[in-house]
Amino acid sequence: MQIFAHRGASAHAPENTLLAIKIALEQGVDGIEIDVHQIEQELVVIHDRWVHRTTNGHGQLANLSFAQIRTFDAGQGEQVPTLWEVMALIGGKCRLNIEVKGLKDKTLLITQLLKAEAELGFDLEQFIVSSFDHHLISQIKTLNTNIKIGALTASKPINYAAFAAQLDAFSVNADIAFLDEAFVQDAHQRGLQVYVYTVDEPEDLKMLYSWKVDGVFCNKPGAAKTYIKSLNSQLR
């Protein structure tokens, strides 16, 4: 089961900052998850539509300029990073799940992923572009079929993972609150990977591991890695 740092190692550093990414890399994660919004022609790494929870700034992203956002402190003196800065720091050392929260220009993202493959040591297959906006990821897939998309859901649909298969997704990225073993099995039968958020409790890790879930998004990825290693050695 692969361990993804959720918003970076967000229990150990301010979420979605370069510091949180750096700590995640030090913890030897398999992947990192970040949240991305488009501001002007820039892709910025921040979770909320409003900036006050994660920075010392105020206001709604939609009403702020990129220059203004860059003046804010995102915690411990960290700036709100750009997607490019995050990719440059990771440099292909692990996978990157880019959760798109807001994006008007899909080609802006696709161009950056292709450029990261050419210039930053990434393989395109290391990226997963996920979203709760299934229209958006479907359009991205249509524009470039080589990009892996992850269909996010915080529900248990009647036809389980059928919606993700219909999108030609690589993975279903599901909320642990609504996931059960039947959902996992259904997704696997459709050839989909299953990634689950947000998982930090050992009992949850053990349950998902027993269901053969493919990956989990953790705020404390180092602890999760250690725990999974112990489960692996118990079963050997």
Active-site positions read 6, 47
- Least spacing, CB of residue 49 vs Mg ion, in Å: 13
Q: Which of 15, 35, 78, 117 binds ligand G3P (CB under 6 A)?
A: 35
Answer yes or no whether residue 197 interacts with ligand G3P by CB under 6 A.
Answer: yes
Angstrom distance (rounded) from CA 6 to CA 20: 9
- What residues pair up with 170 in beta bridges, in sequence order? none
Contact 181, 213 (CB under 8 A): no
Tokens matching residue 154:
């915080």
Considering the complex, state which of residue 33 and residue 117 has its C-beta at the smaller distance from ligand G3P: 33
Contact 181, 173 (CB under 8 A): no
Answer yes or no whether residue 127 interacts with ligand G3P by CB under 6 A.
Answer: no
Answer yes or no whether residue 15 interacts with Mg ion by CB under 5 A.
Answer: no
- Which residues have a Cβ under 8 Å from the Cβ of 197 and sit 6 or more positions away? 6, 33, 173, 174, 175, 176, 216, 217
How does DSSP assign 91-147, residue by residue? TTSSEEEEEEEE-S-HHHHHHHHHHHHHHSS--GGGEEEEES-HHHHHHHHHH-TTS
Binding partner at 217 among ligand G3P, Mg ion, none, C-beta below 5 to 8 Å by kind: ligand G3P
What DSSP character marks residue 53? T
Angstrom distance (rounded) from CA 150 to CA 132: 9
Answer yes or no whether residue 99 interacts with Mg ion by CB under 5 A.
Answer: yes
Considering the complex, state which of residue 186 and residue 220 has its C-beta at the smaller distance from Mg ion: 220
* Positions in 160-189 near Mg ion (CB under 5 A): none
Answer yes or no whether residue 173 interacts with ligand G3P by CB under 6 A.
Answer: yes
Considering the complex, state which of residue 173 and residue 193 has its C-beta at the smaller distance from ligand G3P: 173
Q: Cα–Cα distances in Å, from 128 out to 52, 57, 94, 150, 171?
A: 28, 30, 12, 6, 8
* Positions in 46-65 near ligand G3P (CB under 6 A): 47
Contact 219, 197 (CB under 8 A): no
Q: Which of 8, 15, 32, 35 binds Mg ion (CB under 5 A)?
A: 35
For residues 82 to 101, the per-residue mask of contacts with ligand G3P, x marking binding by CB under 6 A and - elsewhere, is -----------------x--
Q: Which of 72, 122, 127, 217 binds ligand G3P (CB under 6 A)?
A: 217
Answer yes or no whether residue 33 interacts with ligand G3P by CB under 6 A.
Answer: yes
Contact footprint for ligand G3P (CB under 6 A): 6, 33, 35, 47, 99, 130, 152, 173, 197, 217
